[in-house]
Amino acid sequence: MLTESQRQQAADLLWDCWAHGRRIPQLPEELRPSDRQEAYDIQGRLEARSFAQLAGWKIGATGPGSQQLLNVDAPLAGRLLAERVHRNGATVFLGDSLMSVIEVEVAFRMGKSLPPRATPYSRDEVMDAVASVHPAIEIPDTRYDNFKQVGAAQLIADNTCADQFVLGAPASVDWRTLDLATLQTFGRINGGEQRDGSGAQVLGDPRIALTWLANELSQHGLTLGDGHIVATGSTIIPLAVRAGQTVLADLGVLGTVTVHLS
């Protein structure tokens, strides 16, 4: 069990790495969270260092590709910090990203809050709280050199590998009538590789992933808030990229979004 001081030290160390673009092998043994509750507490202290209100949440490890990349067997939740959320067509600094991948994602914007409660939220309740759906690109990264070995708790403490996020315009179609599990998607590097995927890569359906998040947060005393964006996880196996490339994410009838990597 970590003390208050140890949790703060862990958060300060991770934030320093994030702010200065450096990495550590993993957290020192005396600062490692023992479970998800401690890990989310450390993660919340990273949010406290942000200069703006929380933009929303991301779900990591929602498909076999991302679970293999992180060497975990279950999803993880992280926070989207406002200063790292960009508009469609933005130029984003890739720098010396260790992961150097992009993910093509279905993102939801919430229209009302889902606060913690004793009983789990149903999928219908969660979807009724959604205001809009967007195409999105996540550019994850990690503060650990050994991110494949550190385990779920340390990954959560490190904000579930959150880094940069690009949000497209809200879908203009009646998305509530769509089968998001069968949604065909792809990510394509300008003049280069294309990787195809589908909504089924995200826990079988992005709506299932969103429901998982609402209940994961509720279980740990956290609120999925009105206006929050939720990145539900990669619909493709993460696509390797490098600085100088432009990447298009196509989510079919939900629309497209691009990012330029510098």
26-84: pLDDT as tens digits: 999 999 999 999 999 999 999 999 989 999 999 999 987 778 878 898 999 999 999 99
Residue 231 Cα distances to 45, 67, 108, 224, angstroms: 21, 16, 7, 12
Give the pLDDT confidence score for residue 65 in this predicted structure.
73
Residue 70's pLDDT is 84
d(C-alpha 196, C-alpha 176), whole Å: 23
pLDDT at 143: 96
pLDDT, position 104: 98
Closest CA to 176 of 209, 131, 236, 229: 131
pLDDT, position 42: 98
Query: What is the mean predicted confidence (pLDDT) over 183-196?
Result: 97
Q: Are 183 and 235 in contact (CB under 8 A)?
A: yes
**Predicted confidence (pLDDT) per residue in 121-167, tens digit:** 999 999 999 999 999 999 999 999 999 999 999 999 999 999 999 99
Mean pLDDT over all residues of the chain? 96
Overall CATH class of domain 53-261 = alpha beta
Q: Give me the mean pLDDT over the 22-26 stretch.
A: 96
Confidence (pLDDT) at 64: 79
Q: Confidence class of residue 95 from pLDDT cuts 50, 70 and 90?
A: confident
Query: pTM for this one?
Result: 0.96
Mean pLDDT of 201-215: 98
What pLDDT is stored for residue 68 in this prediction? 82
